[in-house]
Structure 1
């Protein structure tokens, strides 16, 4: 292995029956097929597509040589996947992954999780040595309430639930509420000239949100270039006199999810209002505008995901706007031994 290659403690091939290595661009099709094959059985609300995996391999903060893992059977078919991501100054790492349904209950999920924990320790040790952080290593995993097998694994490995989230739907057969903006505020469709101002506004709006960390140019580019992103259904409220961004709503549409779930949903990926502009009806206006855009685009429902303990009162706002909770997910966390 080259001297500059990242450290890797790979799962054992003999006990798992799989050959392990980091993901490369040559694996994109195989990798995406594994995730889609797993999703076809487990029916998650969302799963990574090929375009998302391209972004994973392009990351400069999370070198894919150290932060991705694929397990292949004897025919070269990808059967398991794991990765972690971490901001250099962040106080936690995030884990994602899956195991082919035909290969589950063989200890492979445990092996992937053990690898994720080991790589998290490496990342924290390196960031601490560089003087970027002093926090102990922590790993977080997001799962859906319907996936009991994942909850069973995480519980057995010492993880605990630290936050609940609600997926909420609002039928578009009911007209959007008649909301408007106060004088001096303007609504614009999201376009490239607003990409950087909205990034800065997002970092400001979310600095009091649990688990949120500032998004740099790279992570923001991945956000707005996400394969399902719909900038034409996204909007920004600006203060006319200054041009400052007051709030924004970024939307997406996933045709694969529509085919799987049997309905089409316009999804609000991000909704934020900067502190000094809160209490002026901006969030309501953005949501109502999104509903009208979704409806014109042929969607059946407007949907979003909300932290059940959001400090801005977002859950109450969504309920007033006609959204109802339909699914729950949770974030698990474990503080790792150094």
Structure 2
């Protein structure tokens, strides 16, 4: 399920001025995502960026490959800036996330001279705006949003974003909850259980629940439809096609089909189950200790709120994590969410581990 062809401008020569203004000997180019040394260096830059912004690194080479590999660039494009020795010192990545919304990764090495770092940053922004115009034109839009992020304590990044015309628009709490082994009994069976007319179950698999077969497409479409419906009125919600949704989530290094749950309401004996909620989880690999689970998406249709659907889905992923020997479940919550979701998470034991921000810029498409 790969979406349409890449809509970006693949040649940096066509996306940057003839002279981008880099110091003598510095150059901007498209990286080779299949080159091991390139992936290793980009991972080093990303981890340094995380360490400076929140105090510790968390990403690995798998996350970088999502951005730069041949599979990843179906909906992405990348640019690196090399110093005179050929060492990558800055990296930009754009992702055609959904109609009208382009994600942008902006990383500049922490050891680069301040003036040179400023120029590298400007080149990445210039390139990203050119890519926004390209993808916006390909989609037939008058305006294209660039959506990028920053750690709340990364003042260097904040300065660059503000100077480039970006506006800080949202704050996100990155929350975590410890998991105890005994919580495997939190629900009767994470694969399927029922409470007060709501059935919580894994998406069905071809060949049965214990098989490695592909999920039932009807169930996947139900998950997509629920999440689209649940987030219609949420901040910066943009419609994402089913193919875009599935392709993007399968790219996640922590993707597992047996971490997708549906909640269905069954009213009355013999009634048809109606999808009311969905949770898409992933694996958070630590590399040095127990893995964790992560709530990538949790949505409940407005018509089903107040029936314990969100609570049931959260209890399900906690019990599933405990049964797998994991020690934590993470999630992200909108600090300004009108639904009061943070209250539910706090009541169920989640606490804020660090804070991130969304910064946006709208680019006119010519």
TM-score, length-normalised on structure 2?
0.76
Write the deviation string for residues 184-218 of structure 1: whole angstroms up to 9, x where unpaired: 32222245113232122221221121112222213
The 3 A distance-change label for structure 1 pair 295 and 5 is: closer
Whole-Å Cα distance in 2 between the matches of residues 146 and 174 of structure 1? 34
Separation of aligned partners in 1, 2:153 and 2:265: 43
CA distance in 2, matches of 1:205, 1:336: 28
CA distance in 2, matches of 1:296, 1:140: 37
Which residue is equivalent to 2:285? 255
Q: Find the aligned partners of 1:32 and 1:25 in 2 and give their Cα distance.
A: 7
CA distance in 1, matches of 2:137, 2:198: 47
The question of whether the paired residues in 1 share the 8 Å contact of 2:16 and 2:126 is answered with: no
Structure 1 pair 225–9 and aligned structure 2 pair: CA distance change class (3 A): closer
Supply the distance in 1 between the matched residues of 2:30 and 2:71 (Cα, whole angstroms).
10
Match of 1:198 in 2: 223
Separation of aligned partners in 2, 1:34 and 1:151: 24
Instruction: State which of 213, 229, 232 in structure 2 corresponds to 1:207.
Output: 232
| Equivalent position of 1:138 in the other structure | 145
Runs of 5+ in structure 2 lacking a partner? 1-8, 188-192, 206-214
Give the alignment of 1:85-124 within 5 angstroms: 85-86=95-96, 89-90=99-100, 92-103=101-112, 105=114, 106=116, 107=118, 108-124=120-136
Rounded to whole Å, the distance in 1 between the matches of 2:319 and 2:88 is: 42
Structure 2 distance, partners of 1:146, 1:5, is: 33
Instruction: For 1:324-335, list aligned pairs within 5 A.
Output: 324-335=351-362
In structure 1, what is the Cα distance between the partners aligned to 2:251 and 2:280? Answer: 11
Contact 2:177 2:330 in 1 (8 A): yes
Per-residue CA deviation, residues 64-91 of structure 1 (Å, 9 max, x unaligned), is 4xx321233455443322122335632x
Query: What are the equivalent positions in structure 2 for 1:151-300 lying under 5 Å apart?
Result: 151-173=158-180, 176=183, 181-190=194-203, 191=205, 192-193=215-216, 194-216=219-241, 217-240=243-266, 241-256=271-286, 259=288, 264-300=291-327
Q: CA deviation at 1:58?
A: 4.6
Give the conservation status (yes or no) of the 8 Å contact 2:94–2:105: yes
The 3 A distance-change label for structure 1 pair 329 and 8 is: same
The answer to whether structure 1 residue 19 and structure 2 residue 30 are counterparts is no
Q: How many residues align?
A: 321
Q: Distance in 2 between matches of 1:197 and 1:21?
A: 41
15, 31, 39: which is aligned to 1:8?
15
TM-score, normalising length from structure 1? 0.81
CA contact (8 A) 2:173 2:354 kept: yes
Matches of 1:55 and 1:274 in 2, distance apart? 36
1:13–1:20 Cα contact (<8 Å) kept? no
| Partners of 2:149 and 2:125 in 1: CA distance | 13
Corresponding residue number in structure 2 for 1:317: 344
Q: Aligned partners of 2:109 and 2:310: how far apart in 1? A: 40
| Distance in 2 of aligned mates of 1:38 and 1:54 | 14
Superposed displacement of residue 297, structure 1 = 2.0
Residue 263 of structure 1: how far off its partner (Å)? 6.8
- Aligned Cα root-mean-square deviation (Å): 3.1
Distance in 2 (CA, whole Å) between partners of 1:119 and 1:332 is 17
Q: 1:222 to 1:12 in 2, by over 3 A?
A: same
